[in-house]
Amino acid sequence: MKKTIIIGLITFIVLGLAYGAGIGYYAEKFQANTSFGNIDISNLSLAEAQEKIEADINQQTVTITENGQELGTFTMADLNAQVNTQAFLEASYNNQDPTQWLIGFFDSVEYDNVLMNHIQIDDQAIENALASINILNEGRIQAKDAYIDYGEGRGYFVVPEENGTQLDVEKVKELVVAGIQNGTSSIEVNQAYLAPEVTTEDEKITSVMNQIETVSNTQITLTIAGNEEVIPKETVLEWMYFDDNNQVVFDQNLIYEWLGTMNEKYATYDDVRQFSSTMQGTVEVPAGTLGWSIDRDTETQNIADDLYAGVDVTREPAIVGTGYQNSLAGESDIGNSYVEVDVTNQKMFVYVDGVKVIDTDIVTGQIGTATVTGAYSVWNKETDTDLKGYNQHTGVDYVQPVSYWIPFDDTGQGIHDANWQPSFGGDTYLTNGSLGCINTPPGIMPQVFEHVQLGMPVIVFA
């Protein structure tokens, strides 16, 4: 019995000494069954572990494959790999409890998934390594971004992105390090193709297409002189383009041109008119300043604003000129209140609401300064004013006082009293004609001034 106790005591002492020796040993070593990634650093000092990790990593061979075909190999040393594990190892080392060294023989400590953050690979080195096995982006297919295109009859549509075969060097680096970390030496680079930067699901695409959808479904109807013109969806899409911020913009030059086609269809400004005269029956009157047209500058902006608002609208366009209300009623823009100047018969008539209120002889322009025929409208009325200009017959400037002045075109023609005329009507204009104006007897002119209103048509014909 006494012998048994002595043997047990000796055994306990031996074990205690062995355990204490283990504590002393592992106070300077990593414990058993410790690995860093797939590298065993058991029983190594901090310096030895760092050295082994660097050596093992740099000796590892990387095999590059593409779609299962081997392209070539190189070592991590070829990539100038920098293994920066010292700080991590030191922290791990210091966290060990040497008194638990025995447990290490029955349990493992694995520092997995840490290499990715502790290995640096030089970009140029990996590009050179890839080039050494003839893996170059030059000659490879470049990925294509999704984009918005326009086709006549189809409108705007999305052209999908296309994958390429050019390599993302940063992704290749990640695959190489991940392979080493996981103990895989074969790297499949078809996982590292550069992806398109813009896809069909990208906000850049979807937001623009949403804008296009809103705009293209906006219906603008212009009521022009009683006629409805709906701007076609295809026309709106042709006006549309996008700025640097992918915002819809409308080409106002194209809107302006389209309004020009509407003027050609409806406006009366440039119309040659058939006019039922008092003495000659139906006569043809050249275009003058009379008539209306769509105000293209104003209406271009109005249409753009409507499209930006994206709200359906039906309205009349902005109009300039005279006679629109008559056209709106389906009548001639001359209406039934107007001044009629018959150059051939040297007569002037004033009609108000279809009733002839003035019938007078006149004197029009003589040869060389003949009164220019056309359909005009009164744009001003003045009393006791001076007419100034250049007399082409005498070659001198003139200043002529008149009591009444009614200009009607944009070249200086107008209706005024002429107390210097010895007579009116007949052939007086051939020898004593005006410089283009309608010379009117002073006794009649006050009545003319009273009946003729601003905007009233003045129809001059020969």
Q: How far apart are CA 4 and CA 146, in angstroms?
A: 87
Exposed, middle or buried, 67 (CB in 10 Å: 0-12/13-18/19+)? Answer: exposed
Write down the catalytic residue from 118, 393, 437, 451: 437
CA nearest to 177, candidates 73, 91, 48, 83: 83
How far from 406 is each of 11, 21, 397, 452, 457, CA to CA, in Å? 137, 126, 21, 8, 12
What are 341's two structure tokens? 């100047």
> Can you give 178-192 as a three-state secondary structure string?
HHHHHCCCEEEHHHC
Exposed, middle or buried, 128 (CB in 10 Å: 0-12/13-18/19+)? Answer: middle
118 is catalytic: no
Q: How far apart are CA 375 and CA 213, in angstroms?
A: 46
393 is catalytic: no
- DSSP summary character for residue 365: B
**Could you give the angle at the alpha carbon of 126 between the alpha carbons of 122 and 130, nearest 5°?**
170
Contact 338, 457 (CB under 8 A): yes
**Could you give the angle at the alpha carbon of 285 between the alpha carbons of 361 and 462, nearest 5°?**
40
> Could you tell me the sign of the dihedral formed by the alpha carbons of 168, 171, 173, 175, in that order?
negative
**Could you give the angle at the alpha carbon of 80 between the alpha carbons of 79 and 84, nearest 5°?**
120
DSSP H helices, 135-245, are: 169-182, 203-216, 233-239
Question: Coil, strand, or helix at residue 394?
Answer: coil
CA nearest to 185, candidates 84, 80, 56: 56
Residue 108, C-beta contacts closer than 8 angstroms, at least 6 positions apart: 33, 34, 35
Q: How far apart are CA 221 and CA 213, in angstroms?
A: 18
Q: Please list the residues that pair with 45 across neighbouring strands.
A: none
Q: How far apart are CA 316 and CA 328, in angstroms?
A: 11
What are 289's two structure tokens? 């300043």
DSSP of 94-111, one letter per residue?
Answer: HT--GGGTTGGGTS-EEE
Active site residues: 416, 437
